[in-house]
Chains A and B, each alone.
Chain A
Amino acid sequence: MPAWVVVLLVTLGYLALSLAVGLFSGRRASSGTEGYVAGDRNLGFLVMYFVMGASIFSAFAFLGGPGWAYSRGAAAFYILAYGTIGLVPWYFFGPRVARLGRKYGYVTQAELFAHRFESKALSAVLALIALVAFIPYLVLQIKGAGYVFNIVTEGRMPVWAGAALAYAVVLVYVFKSGVMGVAWTNTFQGIFMMVLAWGLGLYLPWKLFGGVGKMFQALAEEVPEMLTAPGLGSSGEPWSWGAYSSAIAISALGFSLWPHYFMKIYTARDIRTLKKTVVFYPTFQIFLIPILFIGFSGILRFPDVVPADAILPTILMGLDLPAVVIGLFCAGALAASMSTGDAILHAAGSVVIRDFYRVLFRPEMSDAAQTFWIRAMVLVIGAVSYYLAVATDVSLVLLLLLSYGFLAQIFPVIVTTFFWPRATPQGVLAGLGAGCAVTILFNLMPSLQWQGIHPGIWGLLVNVPVQVVVSLLTPAMDENHVNKFVVQ
């Protein structure tokens, strides 16, 4: 049997197993939106831990992480840095979000804010921000899955077919099992990726240099500039401290507000489970270290790989490894892509229906109808993203850059929701609008970015004062209503 057939079989076997896990899990949740979107608010610690960890362990971490370490050196440390502190805010606002969610029946992020500020417009704006952040990430994950199949079959299977196969599986279990399908497949995929990350991260430096220490010893002689922050920029020039530091800041602020993570707050069984998930999250972050080793191991032995994200498959193909090992790697890359893609797909469907369509056009929509339309929306968004991923060459770079910048603009909203009673809907909307507008402007005109500082930071510098001033100029909200949310 030719090697590529073995590799393909291992990958397909993994895909079948994911499907089985995803389908089996759906039986455990009720059929309404609480069950489909929030898992009846009954997820335990182990599942919560992997849902959070594996959603973050995306195709970006698995292929992009080594790619960054390989082409930009210590710049990749930023991924490690922001994740460490990114989830900490959850420990403080998460329990309040969870309790209010249980009391008032929220299953999405915008529902909380729209209720606090009694504003339909806010719900719609947040739904749009979520979509802008989601679509490019989803498209990237789908592309990633397509490339995996393309590589394992040595080009015999085109990217479009591989992407279709992997995401057909995702669609089936998200469609049928909702958040429970996402949760249980992520647990399975998460364990798989952890084993693979440590396995490859320690094996490759050993195979190529005789150990991690010897590898860095060699790198310290040859390319010391790649081993200290802020590392290199995207075209090989030294990266600026301003860009490195602000990338950490904006990612850390936006991280806890990704709508598909935020929604998982509602799925936790109780406050203790939620807090424990946050506490143990940095242990997942540690797994990024061997992932970075993989990229560093390629710098001296495999120079000039383009694109840099292909460094891991390139090393694996260059080492003459057994076909089963390569198959396992491909399954891991697929797991990374699918475990992020499924969560985003599920969240995007929920957000469009609950926060946009229902709020603006169909407030009387029944629970059963909502679940039905969320499922339909999952199919539509899946199809659109698939089309963008394989059939067009639309550049998503601008949207990708906007994602974190936009998400960080929501951070002041969560602060005022819980800690500033005087905030008003007008203030919040004006702040968000101004912040997002400035973020777009600075993205379009990089020359404005003094010291390379991230557009989202400039957005926040406008967002916060606008929110405060407009709030103070508009009438305060009803005290009894506000007191349901604000710290007493």
Chain B
Amino acid sequence: MRGLRFFGSHLTRTQRRVYGAVLVFYLFAFAAMVWPLMTLFNRVRPLVLGMPFSLFFIACVVVASFLVQLSLFRWEQRQQGPEPPEDES
């Protein structure tokens, strides 16, 4: 009754891995936009799509996080049919 419980006991191992991976992705997405990782992408040139590289990079993170979430959503739909599972991580 003491420890942290992140995963419902009914989740399969694959499901836990997927949720774990998504969580790690979002930690990375955050880390990539702040110090120190952001310093790697923090350049004015080359201009991409007319934007400075720094802004283009953040736009890429926005798009990537949208795609990851969309894939997770669709994966859940395939797993459980039209109604998502009763309990998530």
**Contact at B33–A248, with CB atoms within 8 Å?**
yes
**Contact at A285–B34, with CB atoms within 8 Å?**
no
Contact among A212, A270, A285 for B50, CB-based, below 8 A:
A212
For chain A residues 270-296, which have a beta carbon within 8 Å of chain B?
270-272, 275-276, 278-280, 282-283, 285-286, 289, 292
Chain A residues within 8 Å of B44, by CB: 220, 224, 227-228
Chain B residues within 8 Å of A280, by CB: 66
Residues A74 and B50 in contact in the complex (CB < 8 Å), given A242-B35, A279-B69, A487-B6: no
Residues 213-251 of A, flagged 1 when their CB comes within 8 A of B and 0 if not, give 111110110001001111000000000011011001100
Closest to A81 in B: B33
For chain A residues 255-279, which have a beta carbon within 8 Å of chain B?
270-272, 275-276, 278-279
Closest to A94 in B: B88
Chain A residues within 8 Å of B5, by CB: 419-421, 486-488
Chain B residues within 8 Å of A285, by CB: 62
Contact among A270, A282, A289 for B66, CB-based, below 8 A:
A282
Chain A residues within 8 Å of B13, by CB: none
For chain A residues 56-102, which have a beta carbon within 8 Å of chain B?
74, 77, 80-81, 84-85, 88, 91-92, 95-96, 99
* Overall SS of chain B's interface: loop
Residues 35-78 of B, flagged 1 when their CB comes within 8 A of A and 0 if not, give 11010001111010111101100110111011001101100100
Taking the nearest CB of chain A, how far is it from the CB of B31, in angstroms? 10
Chain B residues within 8 Å of A419, by CB: 4-6
**Contact at A279–B66, with CB atoms within 8 Å?**
yes
Chain A residues within 8 Å of B63, by CB: 282, 286
Chain A residues within 8 Å of B38, by CB: 229, 245
Taking the nearest CB of chain B, how far is it from the CB of A80, in angstroms? 5
Which chain B residues have a beta carbon within 8 Å of chain A's beta carbons?
A: 1-2, 4-10, 26, 29-30, 33-36, 38, 42-45, 47, 49-52, 54-55, 58-59, 61-63, 65-66, 69-70, 72-73, 76, 82-84, 86-89
Top 7 A-B pairs, shortest CB-CB distance: A213-B50, A245-B34, A212-B50, A241-B35, A282-B66, A227-B52, A81-B33
